């Protein structure tokens, strides 16, 4: 078996030594992230249902979720949702097996409902959202040969990732995770729709944070201003733990207190008032949008976790790139991984799997090539193990 692995040195200035850098993180409540989360939750639910019934995951792709914003009237002290947001679950799934119809739509809608209730804690899912399922029908005869058993790529696509995270990347990622994690205990006023943009110039980093504020926890404008100031201080304190670079923080720069313009919401989500979302328009599998790094435009969320290389190869590229920089620390400053499939071919035998290495001064490619080749070969050999991790929700897809 030939896995077509290429390991090469690359004359490239690693991201940490470049003059500028831009990194974006769309938080879990951003409409695009909501779409990603819904698509992935539906895929995981279908995968679980198929396994419980047939001991295997049947073909499906649920990566076409659309979130259509509603209308709201936020007010200090508590407003109201006027028109519910609309969620459209779209894709393909096996709906019949040997003539037996499956509860695929109820499974999908229940998974979407549960995801919104778990992630968006200020949202009344029953009243504020309409969930519609238009997943297309398909059938399979289990007495025949089913394609996923052969582990053949169901697309010609590629996966790509770079490692390690830069300080600016980690800062953007950990800032949003802090805001939508531990901060909620002290500042429940801050909703889940958060976006962080990090811009580094030299050793100066500016973080621009957009955070939806929940109106029922904010009695007046003065309280709102205090929340914004407290949020800014908490972000600065968190940044000091992650970098020694000079960090400045701006929060909700669209506000104009003199004109009475503030980012106030009923649910802590911008989709309550006209903001829409789609799968694949947000974070990549590393949790970020990184214009200074290689990125795939593939929407990983919602794709089947068995044979869809648009999902598996991006996840694998992420794991391999970080494993390489961990195991070759001191020798490899930065690595870019690219893996491309060919439809109908075994997923563990890509057309090519390329590792481009930025080597530390004095290090020769021969000193690390064997290690890197072995890491990639092992990753491809065990790519099927990613399926269980995906279904269990143990890997990040956005």
Average pLDDT rounded to a whole number, residues 282-291 = 98
Give the span between the Cα atoms of 75 and 220, in whole angstroms: 9
- CATH number for the domain spanning 266: value is 3.30.300.340
Three-state DSSP at 71 gives strand
- 158 and 286 in a single domain? The answer is yes
- CATH number for the domain spanning 49: value is 3.30.300.10
- 86 and 183 in a single domain? The answer is no
Q: What does the pLDDT look like over 130-177, one tens digit per residue?
A: 999 999 886 665 444 345 456 889 889 999 999 999 999 999 999 999
Q: What does the pLDDT look like over 300-340, one tens digit per residue?
A: 999 999 999 999 999 999 999 999 999 999 999 999 999 99
Give the span between the Cα atoms of 120 and 126, in whole angstroms: 12
- CATH number for the domain spanning 385: value is 3.30.300.280
- 39 and 9 in a single domain? The answer is no
What local confidence, expressed as pLDDT, does residue 17 receive?
A: 96
Give a yes or no: residue 75 inside a domain. Answer: yes
- Domain of residue 387 covers 5-20+154-166+281-391
Give a yes or no: residue 25 inside a domain. Answer: no
Give the span between the Cα atoms of 227 and 183, in whole angstroms: 12
Give the predicted TM-score (pTM) of the model: 0.95
- Specify the pairing of strand 96-97 against strand 158-163: unpaired
Give the span between the Cα atoms of 173 and 243, in whole angstroms: 13
Residue showing tokens 């850098």 = 21
| Contact between residue 194 and residue 178 where contact means Cβ atoms under 8 Å apart | no
> Positive or negative, the Cα torsion across 174, 324, 394, 47?
positive
Angle at 150 between CA 146 and CA 154, to 5 degrees: 85
Average pLDDT rounded to a whole number, residues 34-61 = 96
Q: How many domains are there within the chain? A: 3
Give a yes or no: residue 213 inside a domain. Answer: yes
Give a yes or no: residue 204 inside a domain. Answer: yes
Residue 274 has pLDDT above 90, yes or no: no
Contact partners, residue 304, CB within 8 Å, separation at least 6: 43, 47, 57, 59, 60, 61, 148, 154, 311
User: What element of type H or E holds 377?
Assistant: helix 369-381
Give a yes or no: residue 371 inside a domain. Answer: yes
What local confidence, expressed as pLDDT, does residue 146 receive?
A: 42
Three-state DSSP at 33 gives helix
Three-state DSSP at 1 gives coil
User: What percent of the chain clears pLDDT 70, i.e. is strictly above it?
Assistant: 96
Q: What does the pLDDT look like over 330-378, one tens digit per residue?
A: 999 999 999 999 998 999 999 999 999 999 999 999 999 999 999 999 9
Give the span between the Cα atoms of 44 and 304, in whole angstroms: 9
- 192 and 204 in a single domain? The answer is yes
CA 232 from chain center: how many Å?
Answer: 24
- 159 and 291 in a single domain? The answer is yes
Give a yes or no: residue 147 inside a domain. Answer: no
Q: Where are the alpha helices (DSSP H) in 55-182?
A: 104-119, 125-128, 167-179
Averaged pLDDT of the chain: 95
- 127 and 177 in a single domain? The answer is no
Average pLDDT rounded to a whole number, residues 66-92 = 97
Give a yes or no: residue 148 inside a domain. Answer: no
Three-state DSSP at 216 gives helix
| Contact between residue 355 and residue 376 where contact means Cβ atoms under 8 Å apart | yes
Instruction: Name the β-bridge partners of 66.
Output: 88, 278
Give the span between the Cα atoms of 85 and 68, in whole angstroms: 6
What local confidence, expressed as pLDDT, does residue 137 receive?
A: 83
- 218 and 303 in a single domain? The answer is no
- 13 and 35 in a single domain? The answer is no
Give a yes or no: residue 258 inside a domain. Answer: yes
- 317 and 347 in a single domain? The answer is yes
- 332 and 316 in a single domain? The answer is yes
Burial of 308 (0-12, 13-18, 19+ CB in 10 A): buried
What local confidence, expressed as pLDDT, does residue 144 receive?
A: 41
């Amino acid at each position: 078996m030939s896995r077509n692995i290429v390991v090469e040195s690359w004359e490239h200035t690693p991201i940490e030594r470049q003059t500028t850098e831009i990194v974006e993180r769309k938080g879990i409540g951003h409409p695009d992230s909501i779409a990603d989360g819904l698509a992935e939750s539906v895929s995981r639910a279908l995968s679980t249902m198929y396994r419980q019934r047939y001991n295997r995951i049947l073909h499906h792709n649920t990566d076409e979720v659309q979130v259509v914003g509603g209308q709201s009237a936020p007010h200090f002290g508590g407003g109201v949702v006027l028109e519910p947001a609309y969620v459209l679950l779209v894709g393909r799934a096996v709906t019949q097996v040997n003539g037996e119809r499956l509860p695929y739509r109820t499974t999908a809608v229940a998974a979407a409902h549960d995801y919104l209730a778990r992630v968006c804690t200020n949202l009344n899912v029953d009243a504020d959202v309409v969930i519609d399922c238009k997943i297309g029908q398909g059938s399979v005869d289990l007495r025949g040969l089913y394609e996923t058993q052969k582990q053949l790529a169901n697309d010609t696509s590629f996966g790509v990732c770079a490692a390690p995270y830069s300080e600016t990347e980690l800062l953007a990622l950990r800032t949003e995770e802090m805001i939508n994690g531990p901060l909620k205990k002290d500042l429940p006023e801050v909703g889940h729709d958060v976006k962080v943009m990090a811009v580094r110039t030299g050793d100066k980093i500016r973080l621009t944070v957009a955070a939806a504020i929940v109106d029922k926890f904010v009695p007046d404008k003065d309280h709102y201003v205090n929340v914004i100031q407290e949020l800014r201080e908490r972000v600065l304190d968190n940044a000091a733990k992650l970098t020694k670079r000079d960090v400045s923080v701006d929060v909700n720069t669209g506000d104009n207190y003199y004109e009475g313009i503030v980012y106030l919401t009923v649910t802590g989500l911008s989709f309550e008032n006209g903001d829409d979302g789609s799968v694949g328009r947000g974070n990549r599998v590393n949790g970020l949008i990184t214009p200074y790094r290689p990125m795939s435009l593939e929407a990983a969320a919602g794709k089947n976790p068995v044979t869809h290389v648009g999902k598996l190869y991006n996840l694998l590229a992420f794991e391999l790139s970080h494993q390489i920089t961990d195991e070759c620390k001191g020798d490899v400053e930065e690595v870019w991984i690219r893996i491309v499939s060919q439809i109908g071919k075994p997923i563990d035998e890509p057309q090519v799997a390329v590792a481009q290495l930025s080597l530390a001064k004095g290090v020769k490619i021969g000193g690390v090539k064997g290690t890197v080749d072995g890491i990639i070969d092992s990753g491809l050999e065990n790519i099927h193990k990613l399926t269980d991790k995906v279904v269990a929700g143990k890997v990040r897809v956005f």
